[in-house]
Structure 1
Amino acid sequence: MDSDDLPDLKLLQLFDLLYDVRSVTRVAEQLGQSQPTVSIWLGRLREHLRDPLFIRTPGGMTPTPQADALIGPCREILESLRRFTAWEIAFDPGTAKRRFRICMTDASHVTLLPRILAHVRAHAPGIRLEAARIDGNTERSLESGEADLAIGYVPWLGGGMYQQHLYTQDWVCLTNASHPRIRARLSLKQYRAEGHVVIAAGTGAQLLDQALMRESIERDVVLELPGFLGLGSIIKTTDLIATLPRNIGETLAQMNSIAVHSCPFSVDGFAVRQHWHAKYHHEAGNRWLRGVVAELFRDSR
């Protein structure tokens, strides 16, 4: 079937309306056309589809079995055209029904996700959020649209990505607030002498390892964890030290009533950014989500 065999959009709109209102006169009013014009259009549609489509009865224009069979596909076409013309033009968070997937670290589940969720629930109740890991599949997920954003320290993301700086992280140490040997200030000598908890895959762990090598510090590692889950409780109930980025450190300290100390040696800081693929730079929903993240976290601690 070539383009000359396809029905005009106005004929599909006529079919959709007439199926609902069952009156040529009312359809003409809604389309802003004269009744003779609408009757001509209906004749063309009948010829095109080789069926009367509607039979005049005392109760109005009654659809034929063929019309009943075709109304579903007709409305699918009209809805597809509506989505096509509306795509990227507007995104109304108050009424949108959509899932957003954000790639983030487990530390961000504690520091960022609660505030994002609170904002979304207040302003976009139909939005569903999913948190995904930042890993070797993150770049592919952003490119395919499987994920919408990646938030964190992700220096290895390749080309085709946009990014926006949110805030800069430095490093702190956590200890029990009633530590038997450490009071208001944590010294480098105490840091070397005490036992430590290590987060094996923590954000910026490579930067910390480089600083330890630079300062020739060998920590007495008593416990190694795969993530931050349970770290606050462990620090609160032991005399161990944890060295971690400030945002997650201060959040855990507040949640567990533990002490925060300046790191007694220099560790390179890092920037937390949000990342998205160039394919979705202009997509309205993605723009809205990026705006929410920037509003909540940009240049904040």
Structure 2
Amino acid sequence: MRFNKLDLNLLVVLDAVLTTRSVSRAAERLYLSQPATSLSLSRLREYFEDELLVPVGKTQVPTALANELMKPVRDVLLQLQTITRARPGFDPATSTRRFTIESSDYVISVLLSEVVRRAATLAPLMQFDLRAMSPQMREHLDSGEIELLISPDFAIVPGHPSEPLFEDTFSCLLCLDQPVKGKRLGAEQYFESAHVGIEWAGGRRVTFDARLISTGRRTRRQDVIAPNFTLVPELLLGTARIATLPTRLAHQMARRFPLQLQPCPIEIPGFTEKLQWHKHQDRDPAIVWLRSLLRETAQSLPEVKSLKVARPAARSASPRRRA
């Protein structure tokens, strides 16, 4: 089909070439031969009277016009994708849709693990690709590479709809055998102790509490930096270190490991985890259904204030605790 003398099929090739910045990788993505993809690129260059992709050293770089075309072309394809996926009476029980969701492993632990459990019953053929939050999360949502993004309220991507899922605060975790003065962790012990911190993407992203404390008068001594939340318990066991984590996750870890949960002795504001989706997929029936499942699951989470520490059973304190 042609529009203004342009073969609209070429827009798919243009999107792939500009996204991958490579004819060969674009061909692989589109399941086309490299000569066919090169021919399509030649036709695009002829139509736009622009090279679109030019070699700079060993890489291919989009021209100024190509950079201007990248977002509107992607938006058009996303809208077409929504139209082609529209079906009367979407049925999750028979849907084979695959969803890509980007979030922290903290959100996967406290929310998405329960979501996929419920989906296994409600939508047994549905698939989920859960990806770790990255510095490119804005580009991933803008381009449609991911359908859903779950991030703190201070990190949402502008220009796309969002809704709150759940709130959380911060608490501290210590080894169960670690003594605490007065049975409650104080600010002095907190700042005098070594800490386990969390940073993603080689330090390009840090947690909200770390960023906030770094602007204060006193800073924490982070002896160990973990690449995600999940590894924190193993890095606390057998040490005097402290970890500051979202309360919901800290509560889970205190139940599963010989760790003690303590209120954070310094004031750190709470936060809200928000769900985002692409503005052009606002009416996609499958995404609407999944958003509803996420919302219902989040509403079933206990309130942060009601979370109480469950001491690990004696059997869980044997080899791991001695270690």
TM-score, normalised to structure 1, is: 0.65
Tell whether the 8 Å contact from 1:88 to 1:282 is kept in structure 2 after alignment.
no
Which whole-Å CA distance do the structure 1 matches of 2:154 and 2:274 have between them?
A: 10
Which whole-Å CA distance do the structure 2 matches of 1:200 and 1:86 have between them?
A: 38
Alignment of 1:241-260 (within 5 A): 241-260=242-261
Tell whether the 8 Å contact from 2:153 to 2:271 is kept in structure 1 after alignment.
no
Which whole-Å CA distance do the structure 2 matches of 1:151 and 1:85 have between them?
A: 26
SS in 1 for 2:215: helix
Give the corresponding residue for 2:168: 169
Alignment of 1:1-301 (within 5 A): 87-153=86-152, 155-182=154-181, 184-201=183-200, 205-211=207-213, 213-214=215-216, 216-298=217-299, 300=301, 301=303
Paired AA for residue 207 in structure 2: A
Query: How far off its partner does 1:116 sit?
Result: 1.3
Query: How far off its partner does 1:200 sit?
Result: 2.3
Tell whether the 8 Å contact from 2:153 to 2:272 is kept in structure 1 after alignment.
no
Tell whether the 8 Å contact from 1:103 to 1:138 is kept in structure 2 after alignment.
yes
Give the corresponding residue for 1:41: none
Which whole-Å CA distance do the structure 2 matches of 1:245 and 1:294 have between them?
A: 19
Tell whether the 8 Å contact from 2:85 to 2:284 is kept in structure 1 after alignment.
no
Are the structure 2 counterparts of residues 160 and 218 from structure 1 closer, same or farther at C-alpha, using a change threshold of 3 Å?
Answer: closer
Paired AA for residue 167 in structure 1: F
Query: How far off its partner does 1:146 sit?
Result: 2.6
Paired AA for residue 282 in structure 1: R
- Identity percentage over the alignment? 25
Query: How far off its partner does 1:218 sit?
Result: 2.7
Question: Deviations 1:227-277 (Å, cap 9, x if unpaired)?
Answer: 123211222322210012112211222221311111101112211011111
Query: How far off its partner does 1:137 sit?
Result: 3.1
Tell whether the 8 Å contact from 2:199 to 2:206 is kept in structure 1 after alignment.
no
Which whole-Å CA distance do the structure 2 matches of 1:184 and 1:258 have between them?
A: 14
Which whole-Å CA distance do the structure 2 matches of 1:84 and 1:206 have between them?
A: 38
Tell whether the 8 Å contact from 1:153 to 1:204 is kept in structure 2 after alignment.
no
Tell whether the 8 Å contact from 2:233 to 2:253 is kept in structure 1 after alignment.
yes
SS in 1 for 2:154: coil
Q: How large is the RMSD of aligned CA atoms in angstroms?
A: 2.6
Bigger drift between 91-100 and 247-256 goes to: 247-256
SS in 2 for 1:108: helix
Are the structure 2 counterparts of residues 299 and 182 from structure 1 closer, same or farther at C-alpha, using a change threshold of 3 Å?
Answer: farther
Q: In the comparison of the two structures, how many residue pairs are matched?
A: 219
Tell whether the 8 Å contact from 2:138 to 2:157 is kept in structure 1 after alignment.
yes
When Rg is computed on C-alpha atoms for both structures, the one with the higher figure is 1
Question: Deviations 1:44-74 (Å, cap 9, x if unpaired)?
Answer: xxxxxxxxxxxxxxxxxxxxxxxxxxxxxxx
Tell whether the 8 Å contact from 1:186 to 1:264 is kept in structure 2 after alignment.
yes
Query: How far off its partner does 1:149 sit?
Result: 0.7
Which whole-Å CA distance do the structure 2 matches of 1:174 and 1:182 have between them?
A: 15
Query: How far off its partner does 1:181 sit?
Result: 4.2
Which whole-Å CA distance do the structure 1 matches of 2:186 and 2:211 have between them?
A: 19
Give 4+ residue runs of structure 1 displaced > 6 Å after superposition.
Answer: 83-86
Tell whether the 8 Å contact from 1:143 to 1:279 is kept in structure 2 after alignment.
no
Which whole-Å CA distance do the structure 2 matches of 1:247 and 1:269 have between them?
A: 12
Are the structure 2 counterparts of residues 152 and 123 from structure 1 closer, same or farther at C-alpha, using a change threshold of 3 Å?
Answer: same
Which whole-Å CA distance do the structure 2 matches of 1:123 and 1:101 have between them?
A: 18
Are the structure 2 counterparts of residues 91 and 267 from structure 1 closer, same or farther at C-alpha, using a change threshold of 3 Å?
Answer: same
Are the structure 2 counterparts of residues 183 and 128 from structure 1 closer, same or farther at C-alpha, using a change threshold of 3 Å?
Answer: farther
